[in-house]
Amino acid sequence: WLLNMVENILSVTKIQDDNRTLNKSSEPLEEIMSDSVHRVKRRIPDANIKITLPDEFVLVPMDALLIEQVIINLLDNAPKRSHSKKPIELYATIEPKTVTVYVKDYGIGISNDKKDEIFKSYTRRNNSPDRDKGMGIGLSICKAIVNAHNGEITARNLTEGAEFCFTIPKEEIHH
């Protein structure tokens, strides 16, 4: 838990530091996805994750460590928040100008009162009887990282469970 917290704090510090830019390079998406699953499995050996790698080889300009942190945060949250024993699914879709990475669970979904604040900064509900119900900083860091990559992150409820996804451009955007 402490290692994950430190990684998240370092990630957000890197993004918020005005003197630094993202260390982007063209990275193979399937390698980033696989590495993320391996890191989660080292921390949570019994994590039940089904990964489906893209059919095509695709290089995406990204800061690999930061995008890996996004995937790790989403994979780490899924079993904790979903309360499901079914596998967490990790997969991606490739479009002409973007790639989208999905993390899908088959649990209880996102409660309506949390939908609007799910990607906001850390908020702990003191009146909550369950410590696990605090929002944490993981999703707000995911949003900051994806935004720094000129992308977008969303969450939605499905018929069974929830799906988090983020989209980033396949080509560098210059301002």
Asked whether the beta carbons of 34 and 50 are under 8 A apart, the reply is no
- Short-list 4, 84, 2, 81, CA closest to 36: 4
- Per-residue pLDDT tens digits for 29-68: 999 999 999 999 998 888 899 999 988 899 999 999 889 9
pLDDT (0 to 100) of residue 125: 45
Asked whether the beta carbons of 58 and 99 are under 8 A apart, the reply is yes
Residue 172 has pLDDT above 90, yes or no: no
